[in-house]
DNA sequence: TTGAAAGCGCTAACAA
DNA sequence: TTGTTAGCGCTTTCAA
């Protein structure tokens, strides 16, 4: 009642209320060192009744340890990164580490800014999406002196550790599967984002596989913005009007693929006989559509888990050895839209 | 080159490298006070070439100010909270404030833990979903002495400020609209979550509106887990088998509604003549389905924006006045699945 | 326009 | 088992 309105409580308040030194109060609150049961009781009671919340800012400064893991990702609004976060959380939940998320919107300048902000809090580790960063960002990552795990993609050289899949290979394998199934007139639809390197790599792997089979992409279209489902519809309608003899459509993500599928079904196309379809991501959300879209799982939750595992191992006392390059291998999910071989 | 491997740089390093006192370096780096252009240059050059990243932990401790806004939400994996975050980000982007997100999984104990963690970083404000909190959480919120905005829901009494919609009223209005359109045999499907207070309130408002029209819910079913789209399918199939004379289905979210819609269309039901459908949330994702589901926008982005506005106003120097209770009014989106009156 | 001193709230290290 | 002392790296305040 006598505490001035807006001053937050300090250790000293708990110390005075319990008649125990600040140091011992600190020990009790952190379960460190030997404290007698009686003292412990007293302190805990005082802290609770006052409603004391420790000041981690002061604590971190004094101990030179911050139990934060910076997680830097491009977006939260598509299906993929929330699942990665779930994987990360699952692992960090059982540790004192706490994830803190920063969003880059696929913009390198924003990534740089977010990274700088994050580093200014001196986190214990960094998990960052992608292998492509500005020189300044890469310099910061290297200079930070803390574990850095680059995730999602393994087509490149990491600053430190990396966990992901090869998107180049994912595209290649899908291309091969499509050719093996006998499709030859192939259209591609994807996002217009020059900065989505993983989509780009899938596309490159895809065209490369086709080329090896003597096939060239017959038509392609890129979109940006808008609801993915309806974009998939529109683009598919456009493309089939423009190039009616296509026998396969490869979509850079499941959502536009689903839109395309719905449109084709309405038009009475025979899927996968007359025309085959495939997407990318293995989005669980889409289960329940009239057909299961052929796709490829991006191993999102596992990527999150493995990345967090690395951080946990490296920040353990004593620091554990940890693999620094983990390449997961996604498999094609045949679904109902890819003709069986 | 002579810096020991793992010691992060300090102001002192920049001070030595530039031959300017620590204090002046600090001033330059924060754009505070008058510093001559020449000194400024020198300092900036030294800081950049060293790759100095300020230590915000020390800075915050010294200045007793932390430019963090704690955002505490139940989940990131459904459509609703990412959109709220987008709204919050949009506003905070233009300020020095940074959002930090904590996830509660709809569990009060976890909310308590997350809140405690967040408060230990002494943020400048808190945005927290819902009005239902444990006594301990409410006590922490009150004792924190910082602006607290409870979001999403306005059916209740906030600790401090609140921004949201009345879910009770949303349910009521949908009930009234359905009755007015002439439907009488009404089924309800929703999640089993006892802790999703907003879904509960919508349901209460809904049944209340029906009761006023002399109608009782003819069948109902609750689910948990799994892909929402397929759950919607399954539940709808079950319910129509059990209660074939239903003429309306109200779903507690758009995703299960979409699943139900797809199933009904496949079965050849006449929508909205023979049977009407409605969901909740106004999920943009679903645009592109064969029919637009009737729904109600939950004003997610606007809630985020307005909540952030309040925090910004209250943390401004000098602190601004700000509304403390903002009730947004969602409107019914008729779509193609609700018979016009 | 610049610098020196004090201290933010806590913890490491040591002493009792 | 408990207490004392000396910082952690920065900013506030005041003096030059």
pLDDT digits (tens, 9 = 90+) for B177-204: 999 999 999 999 999 988 999 999 999 9
Given a contact cutoff of 8 angstroms between Cβ atoms, the answer to whether A52 and A13 are in contact is yes
pLDDT at B6: 65
Given a contact cutoff of 8 angstroms between Cβ atoms, the answer to whether A104 and A74 are in contact is yes
Nucleotide nearest to B27 (CA to C1'): D11
A86 at interface of B, judged by CB pairs closer than 8 A: yes
B260 at interface of A, judged by CB pairs closer than 8 A: no
Q: Tell me the two tokens of residue B264.
A: 């009904």
B306 CB-near residues (< 8 Å, 6+ apart): B87, B163, B326, B328
* Each residue's pLDDT tens digit, B130-147: 999 999 999 999 999 999
A 3-22, residues with C-beta < 7 Å of strand D: 20-22
pLDDT at A148 over 60: yes
| Contacts with B230 from chain A: Cβ below 8 Å | 287-288
- What positions of strand C are covered by protein, i.e. any atom < 7 Å from a CB? 1-13
pLDDT at A6: 66
**CA A141 remoteness from chain centre:** 18
Given a contact cutoff of 8 angstroms between Cβ atoms, the answer to whether B77 and A86 are in contact is yes
Half-sphere exposure at residue A261, Cβ-oriented, CA atoms within 13 angstroms: 27
Q: Per DSSP, what are the bridge partners of residue A187?
A: A219, A249
pLDDT at A165: 98
**Which range has the worst mean pLDDT, A35-44, B181-190, B242-251?**
A35-44
A8 at interface of B, judged by CB pairs closer than 8 A: yes
Q: Tell me the two tokens of residue A169.
A: 């290979």
* Each residue's pLDDT tens digit, A188-235: 999 998 899 999 999 999 999 999 999 999 999 999 988 899 999 999
Q: Is the CB of A62 under 7 A from strand C?
A: yes
- Looking at residues B204-226, what average pLDDT do you find? 95
pLDDT at A246 over 70: yes
**What is the Cα–Cα distance from B28 to B37, expressed in whole angstroms?**
10
DSSP A141-171: HHHH-S-EEEEEE-SS--SSEEEEE-HHHHH
3-state secondary structure of B223: strand
pLDDT band at A1 (very low <50, low <70, confident <90, very high): very low
**What is the Cα–Cα distance from A226 to A51, expressed in whole angstroms?**
48
Q: Considering only CA atoms, give the Rg of chain A.
A: 26
Distance of C1' in D12 from CA in A145, Å: 31
pLDDT at B3: 40
Return the closest-CA partner of residue A308 out of A157, A90, A141, A101. Answer: A90
Q: Do A287 and B229 touch (CB under 8 A)?
A: yes
Strands A161-165 and A325-328, bridge-based pairing: parallel
Q: Do A229 and B286 touch (CB under 8 A)?
A: yes
pLDDT at B2: 39
Distance of C1' in D14 from CA in B188, Å: 70
- Looking at residues A266-283, what average pLDDT do you find? 95
Q: Tell me the two tokens of residue A45.
A: 């009671």
Query: Which sign, positive or negative, has the C-alpha torsion A280, A282, A287, A290?
Result: positive
Q: Is the CB of B76 under 7 A from strand C?
A: no
**What is the Cα–Cα distance from A140 to B142, expressed in whole angstroms?**
39
From its phi and psi, is residue A98 left (phi > 0), alpha (psi between -120 and 50) or beta? beta
Q: Nearest residue of B to residue A51 by CA position? A: B140
What is the number of other CB atoms lying within 10 angstroms of the CB of residue B62?
A: 11
- Looking at residues B101-118, what average pLDDT do you find? 95
Q: Do A288 and B231 touch (CB under 8 A)?
A: yes
- Looking at residues A64-92, what average pLDDT do you find? 93
> The tokens 């050059």 sit on which residue?
B45
Helix residue spans in B130-253 (DSSP H): 135-144, 167-180, 197-212, 228-242
- Looking at residues B68-91, what average pLDDT do you find? 93
B 258-317, residues with C-beta < 7 Å of strand C: none
Query: Which sign, positive or negative, has the C-alpha torsion B175, B291, A253, B89?
Result: negative
Q: Tell me the two tokens of residue B285.
A: 């994702």
Strands A295-296 and A332-333, bridge-based pairing: antiparallel
pLDDT band at B1 (very low <50, low <70, confident <90, very high): very low
Q: Do A61 and B57 touch (CB under 8 A)?
A: yes
A209/chain B closest Cα distance in angstroms:
31
Give the DSSP H or E segment for B297: none
Torsions phi, psi for B146 (to 5 deg): -120, 160
pLDDT at B146: 95
Q: Tell me the two tokens of residue A273.
A: 């006989």
Q: Tell me the two tokens of residue A32.
A: 């460190």
**What is the Cα–Cα distance from A79 to A254, expressed in whole angstroms?**
10
Q: Tell me the two tokens of residue A195.
A: 């900065």
- Looking at residues B158-185, what average pLDDT do you find? 97
pLDDT at B4: 41
Q: Indicate the DSSP class of residue A8.
A: P
From its phi and psi, is residue B106 left (phi > 0), alpha (psi between -120 and 50) or beta? left
Residue with more model confidence, B282 or A292: A292
pLDDT at A3 over 50: no
3-state secondary structure of B277: strand
Query: Which sign, positive or negative, has the C-alpha torsion A19, A23, A28, A34?
Result: negative
* Each residue's pLDDT tens digit, B84-104: 999 999 999 999 999 999 999
> The tokens 């492509």 sit on which residue?
A132
pLDDT at A117: 95
> The tokens 């023979």 sit on which residue?
B274
Given a contact cutoff of 8 angstroms between Cβ atoms, the answer to whether B279 and B232 are in contact is no
Q: Is the CB of B30 under 7 A from strand D?
A: yes
Distance of C1' in C3 from CA in B18, Å: 15
Q: Is the CB of A55 under 7 A from strand C?
A: yes
How distant, in Å, are the alpha carbons of A65, A175, A209, B120, B240 from that of A204?
Answer: 43, 10, 9, 48, 48
Given a contact cutoff of 8 angstroms between Cβ atoms, the answer to whether B140 and B115 are in contact is yes
Query: Using CA atoms in the order B283, B285, B288, B290, what is the torsion angle rounded to 10 degrees?
Result: -60
Residues in chain A: 341
Torsions phi, psi for A44 (to 5 deg): -60, -40
Q: Per DSSP, what are the bridge partners of residue B72?
A: B102, B128
B 14-43, residues with C-beta < 7 Å of strand C: 20-21, 23-24, 27, 33-36, 38-39
**What is the Cα–Cα distance from A252 to A279, expressed in whole angstroms?**
6
B207 CB-near residues (< 8 Å, 6+ apart): B171, B175, B216, B217
Q: Is the CB of A29 under 7 A from strand C?
A: yes
Strands B248-251 and B276-278, bridge-based pairing: parallel
Given a contact cutoff of 8 angstroms between Cβ atoms, the answer to whether A80 and A299 are in contact is no
Given a contact cutoff of 8 angstroms between Cβ atoms, the answer to whether A195 and A224 are in contact is no
pLDDT at B323 over 90: no
Q: Per DSSP, what are the bridge partners of residue A126?
A: A70, A148
Given a contact cutoff of 8 angstroms between Cβ atoms, the answer to whether B137 and B115 are in contact is yes
Query: Which sign, positive or negative, has the C-alpha torsion A23, A25, A27, A29?
Result: negative
pLDDT at A105 over 70: yes
pLDDT at B284 over 70: yes
pLDDT at A311 over 90: yes
């Amino acid at each position: 009642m006598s505490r001035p309105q807006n001053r937050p409580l300090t250790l000293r308040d708990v110390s005075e209320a319990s008649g125990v030194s600040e140091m011992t109060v600190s020990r009790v609150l952190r379960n460190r060192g030997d404290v007698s049961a009686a003292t412990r009781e007293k302190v805990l009671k005082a802290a609770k009744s006052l409603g004391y919340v420790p000041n981690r800012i002061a604590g971190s400064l004094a101990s030179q340890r911050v139990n934060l893991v910076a997680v830097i990702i491009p977006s939260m609004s598509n299906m993929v990164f929330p699942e990665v976060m779930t994987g990360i959380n699952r692992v960090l939940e059982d540790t004192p580490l706490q994830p803190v998320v920063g969003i880059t919107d696929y913009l390198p300048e924003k990534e740089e800014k977010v990274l700088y902000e994050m580093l200014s809090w001196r986190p214990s580790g960094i998990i960052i999406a992608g292998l492509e960063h500005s020189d300044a960002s890469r310099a910061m990552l290297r200079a930070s002196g803390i574990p850095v795990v680059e995730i999602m993609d393994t087509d490149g050289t990491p600053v430190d550790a990396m966990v992901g899949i090869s998107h180049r290979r994912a595209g290649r394998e899908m291309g091969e599967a499509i050719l093996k199934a006998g499709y030859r007139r192939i259209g591609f639809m994807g996002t217009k984002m020059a900065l989505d390197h993983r989509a780009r790599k899938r596309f490159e792997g895809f065209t490369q596989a086709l080329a090896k089979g003597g096939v060239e992409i017959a038509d392609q279209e890129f979109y940006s913005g808008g609801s993915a489902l309806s974009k998939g519809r529109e683009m598919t309608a456009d493309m089939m009007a423009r190039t009616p003899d296509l026998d396969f459509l490869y979509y850079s993500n499941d959502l536009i693929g689903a839109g395309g599928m719905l449109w084709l079904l309405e038009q009475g196309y025979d899927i996968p006989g007359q025309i085959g379809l495939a997407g990318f991501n293995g989005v669980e959300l889409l289960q329940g559509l009239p057909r299961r879209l052929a796709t490829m799982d991006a191993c999102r939750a596992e990527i999150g888990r493995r990345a967090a595992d690395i951080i946990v191992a490296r920040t353990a006392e004593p620091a554990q050895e940890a693999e620094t390059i983990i390449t997961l291998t996604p498999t094609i999910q045949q679904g109902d839209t890819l003709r069986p071989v």
